[in-house]
């Protein structure tokens, strides 16, 4: 006696209606386009071992005793020389021994403003 064949195995059967999955919370918000957090709260891991603000990359400073060669040093321009002299006489206060690029730029901007106002003749 022959076994009855399973007719459905010979053909590809497509699922006509998707099974309704009960999505809630994060998945439902994501599917419907509602505002949701970037990371799924169920999968989210706690942050471990955060660095102190001193060790963070944005607070990095060049080591004090690093040997710089003569050709790596910045050429002193007029503003730098003036700023260093003004710091020596106590007119301005500098962060370090030599003026930084920011301090030089600020001096240049102030000098430009004073020139425009006609307060000083340089």
pLDDT value, residue 11: 79
Whole-angstrom distance, CA of residue 111 vs CA of residue 120: 9
Higher pLDDT residue, 52 or 102? 102
User: How many CB atoms within 10 Å of residue 82?
Assistant: 19
Total residues found in the chain within this entry: 122
43 band by pLDDT with thresholds 50, 70 and 90: confident
* Structure tokens given for 74: 């910045």
pTM: 0.36
pLDDT value, residue 121: 54
Q: What is the pLDDT of residues 22-37, one digit of tens each?
A: 777 888 888 888 887 7
Q: How far is CA 103 from the centre of its chain?
A: 23
Q: What is the pLDDT of residues 56-110, one digit of tens each?
A: 777 777 767 666 666 666 677 888 898 899 999 998 888 888 888 888 888 889 8
Query: Residues 3-30: what's their mean pLDDT?
Result: 74
User: How many CB atoms within 10 Å of residue 116?
Assistant: 8
pLDDT value, residue 116: 84
Q: Which of 70, 107, 78, 113 is nearest to 92 (CA)?
A: 107
Domain ranges (residues) in the chain = 25-118
């Amino acid at each position: 006696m022959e076994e009855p064949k399973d007719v459905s195995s010979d053909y590809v059967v497509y699922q006509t209606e998707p099974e309704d999955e009960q999505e809630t919370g994060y998945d439902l918000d994501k599917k419907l386009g509602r505002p949701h957090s970037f990371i799924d709260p169920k999968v989210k891991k706690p942050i471990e071992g955060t660095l102190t603000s001193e060790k963070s990359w944005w607070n990095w400073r060049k080591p004090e005793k690093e040997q710089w060669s003569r050709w790596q040093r910045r050429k002193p321009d007029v503003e730098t020389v003036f700023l260093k002299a003004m710091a020596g006489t106590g007119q301005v206060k500098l962060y370090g021994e030599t003026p930084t690029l920011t301090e030089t730029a600020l001096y240049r901007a102030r000098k430009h403003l004073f020139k425009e106002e006609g307060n000083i003749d340089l």
